[in-house]
Amino acid sequence: MKASQNPIDAPPPDKVPRPGGDGLFMDRSFSPLDARHTIGPVSSEDNKSRLRLTPAERDGAVWIRIPDLIRMNCGLSHDDPVNLFDDTIEPNDLTQGVVGDCWLLASMACLAEFPDSVVERINPKAISPEGRYTVSLYDHTKCRWEDITIDDYVPCKYYADYTQVPYRMNDQGKRVYDGRVKPRMRYRPLFAAPHGNEMWCLILEKAMAKFVGSYSKIAGGHEPFAFMTMTGYSQVYEFKRRALDRDMTRAEVGVWQRGWAQWHSRDRPTCGYKPVQRG
């Protein structure tokens, strides 16, 4: 598989096929046709939401199947293969998108240090011709694994990519781009972005979003929740350095506090913290 030497612009949103029109699987319970439910409330609509999008950005998201997204952005033809997993699964497979869910991506990067732990979560183990995937996540409220079935549509933003446009720095230290060179129009996922032509991180992230109720609920969370959900382990420890000032700008060197992460509930991807007593 080789990317085009002269990649063309991705088609504008009005030229992207409407979700569900290709005859492949579309998850109607977590539907790309219902962004208000699937992406969820933004911070201007709900003060508990940490999703820093405008309602227009959410409602205007372009839903694209992951293989098509990768082919568009990598300058590949429709027949070029895309991988669910590459030869090696590693932390560098993950890239953050427009919206920050770094707590989840950091946890997924840690899980990628143990590739079998990633592979065993997702079925099938290769690209699904119908766009259907099942991800196993652990619900500690019910004390059991749950199979989360999703499609491979992800919400994207259409944007101008200036990375290949020459520029100079002005007196204010800002970039001034060469107006003779047009930026390339591309699509960027609102959440996790694919690295190269691997899909697994977007599939796992979408399953977690459906598990907790919406994408907006993964815009803020705690790493232990992700570890508990993706591994099934109920006892996860956190190690913290004791702060030496109220603003928590300085910490005691070489001294760590150990605590248990406390599962709260499935629809709140946060965890409490209970210090472990010495002895």
Enclosing H/E stretch for 150: strand 144-151
Global pTM?
0.84
Bridge partners, residue 237, by sequence: 260
Q: What is the largest CA-CA distance in the chain?
A: 69
For each of the chain's 279 residues, which pLDDT tens digit applies?
Answer: 444 444 578 899 999 999 999 999 999 999 999 999 999 998 888 887 778 889 999 999 999 999 999 988 888 888 888 989 877 777 666 676 666 678 888 888 888 888 888 899 999 999 999 999 999 999 988 989 999 999 999 999 999 999 999 999 999 999 999 999 999 999 999 988 877 788 999 999 999 999 999 999 888 777 888 888 999 887 777 777 778 888 878 888 877 777 656 666 566 655 555 555 554
The answer to whether 157 and 52 are in contact (CB under 8 A) is no
DSSP 129: T
Verify whether residue 102 is a known catalytic residue: yes
DSSP 110: H
Cα separation values, 104 from 40, 160, 218, 247, 251, Å:
17, 27, 7, 26, 25
Whole-number Å distance between alpha carbons of 191 and 55: 16
- Dihedral sign for Cα 35, 159, 47, 227, please: positive
DSSP 92: G
Whole-number Å distance between alpha carbons of 226 and 203: 15
| pLDDT of amino acid 4 | 44
> Residues 74, 102, 143, 271: which is the catalytic one?
102
How far apart are the two ends of the chain, measured CA to CA in Å?
57
The domain segmentation of the chain, as residue ranges, is: 25-236
- Whole-angstrom Cα Rg for the chain: 21
Sheet holding 144-151, edge to edge: 122-123, 132-139, 144-151
Read off φ and ψ for residue 239, nearest 5 degrees: -115, 125
Whole-number Å distance between alpha carbons of 239 and 53: 32
Neighbouring C-beta atoms of residue 42, cutoff 10 Å: 22
